[in-house]
Chain A
Amino acid sequence: MISGTARRRAQDLAFQTVALLVLCLALGALAALIIDVWQDGASRLSLDFVRGFPSRRAEQAGIWHALMGSVSVIAVTTVIAVPLGVGAAIYLEEYGTRSRAAKLIEINITNLAAVPSIIYGLLGLGLFVRMLAMGRSVMAGGATLALLALPVVILSTREALRAVPMSLREGSYALGATKWQTIWNQVIPVAMPGILTGLILALSRAIGETAPLITIGAVTFVSFAPDSLWSPFTVLPIQIFNWVSRPQVEFQANAAAGIIILLLLLLTMNALAIWLRDRYQKRGLL
């Protein structure tokens, strides 16, 4: 009996140790990456770099065009993917029946979330650039990334809606609320933190995407920031890739600095979403 307990304790401790090691490995790799990038790129970071445009001379090159490209594309993606994705999830979760067709749709959405992003690039090229004649524009790029983000938005929103207790819905229905009143007043506010978490994940993935945008023809050398939805554009990952592939060592520093800017953009987006989420959580508790 006693030795059995000792053995189980040892197992417990062993597992805890392994879990800790794995965590350290993951965080360590991330830290090494960030430190390395910082060492390479910090010296290039300056207001001129952020506000600058591409140049053949590495020390004069900047990233403004790509930063603005990324921001515009992700804005288009958000505007398309969030209402469509959240709306589809609400329909599937709250209105849809548990029919065979619904199950088929569910499986397909799950599969879509795992489709390689370049496939979405090909779809975007065929659908938006050619068929809808959007050209190689910010609009086409944002729409393509929206396709990519949609399955993740739908899945995570459904998950968040499913986590809202049935008793809350019943309480609302029992007072004579319609389905929509129940969803809007009770379900969505409670699900909001979960929905926002899903949006963070989906949009963070989209902003780092390169392959689908190259596929639809985002140009690797643009010397201006997009001034409309129909402008040609480039985005940060493409610009970074462009610099990395150059032989001159000075451009490597630019690439590292570009990565830092991309990370900052990502962190800003996440911080905004977390701030929104916390606000909803507080409101939910009041």
Chain B
Amino acid sequence: MSTPSRPLGPSMPSLSGIATRDRTPTVPSQPPKIAVDGLNFFYGDVRALQDISVNIHPNLVTAFIGPSGCGKSTFLRTLNRMNDIIPGTRVEGQVLIDGEDIYAPGTDVVQLRRRVGMVFQKSNPFPKSVFENVAYGLRINGMAGTRSEVAGRVEESLKAAALWDEVKDRLQESALAMSGGQQQRLCIARALAVRPDILLMDEPASALDPIATQRIEELIYVLKRDYTIVIVTHNMQQAARVSDFTAFFWLGKLVEHDRTDKIFTAPSEKLTEDYVTGRFG
């Protein structure tokens, strides 16, 4: 969250640039931010995820694509143990974040979720003021210092989410009075306020109009300098536009995970090719 007020967007790639644009050419040399090994996930007796193993690299955007019900959202939610709150679910396998197994007994789930922020498909601002929405995470995590410190963090977070200019004069108004796109950016600001390392986004733009969507995508592009971002999307163009790596899920399995340009131009798997060229799904 350095220089959060940096202007957005000029370097946004356009869709037509996918094939030729030079992205991360090789797998980065740093250790993976998230390393998943042999992950199985069960809703009751139904196995929703089968033997997923994947490395997610720091400070890059990884997109999960796949048809509805393929398990991409479920997988995303295993990364901050959000599925824990759904009764009757079970996880097998290992998820390492910075080398630590987040499913190891004794893991502090509350601390984990502070480090791994999440933005949901349907924006879910709290029925409170704009200010209180952003300050909430600080207060519950005991990060709220003096009044002016909180105000500073709120401003910083709203700027990082490219929302400050629109709401700075209405911080005390209800968050529910804002537009859908603003609400979603508020949810991003809210997640950023507690300074996570990783940001999980579950179809963050699927309920938004094209302009609001573009703003979210521009934001993702800027945020990846400071955060490791994992985004679930059913919109392949969006995956192509915003991500460095793409993982394709199919019936609860991870079919292919590679650099985004490779997935969209020369995938190794026939199934991936069929999906990204729109032959099914």
Which residues of A line the B interface, CB within 8 A?
Answer: 97-98, 165, 167-178, 181, 185-186, 189-190, 284-286
Contact = CB atoms under 8 A, between A and B. Distances in A.
B124 A176 contact: no
A165 B176 CA distance: 14
B140 A176 contact: yes
18 contacts: A98-B88, A168-B124, A170-B118, A171-B126, A171-B190, A172-B126, A172-B136, A174-B117, A174-B120, A174-B191, A175-B113, A175-B191, A176-B110, A176-B137, A181-B140, A190-B127, A285-B127, A286-B128
B141 interface: yes
B187 to A, nearest CB: 7
Interface in B87-121: 87-88, 110-114, 117-118, 120
A176 B87 contact: no
Nearest to B87: A98
Contacts of A176: 110-114, 137, 140-141, 194
Given A185-B140, A189-B127, A286-B173, 13 more contacts: A97-B87, A167-B120, A170-B85, A171-B126, A171-B187, A173-B113, A174-B82, A174-B191, A177-B136, A178-B140, A186-B126, A285-B127, A285-B176
Contacts of B125: 171
A171 B124 CA distance: 6
Contacts of A190: 127
Interface residues of B, number: 32
A286 B129 contact: yes
A261 B19 CA distance: 82
Contacts of A186: 126
Given A175-B191, A181-B140, A185-B136, A170 B124 contact: yes
Contact of A175 (B140, B172, B173): B140
Nearest to A181: B140
A282 to B, nearest CB: 10
Interface of B: 80, 82, 85, 87-88, 110-114, 117-118, 120, 122, 124-129, 136-137, 140-141, 172-174, 176, 187, 190-191, 194
A107 to B, nearest CB: 19
B126 A174 contact: no
Given A175-B113, A175-B117, A169 B187 contact: no
Nearest to A281: B127
A92 to B, nearest CB: 14
Nearest to B138: A175
Nearest to A169: B85
A173 B82 contact: yes
A125 B113 CA distance: 52
A116 to B, nearest CB: 36
B120 A177 contact: no
Contacts of B172: 286
A175 B82 contact: no
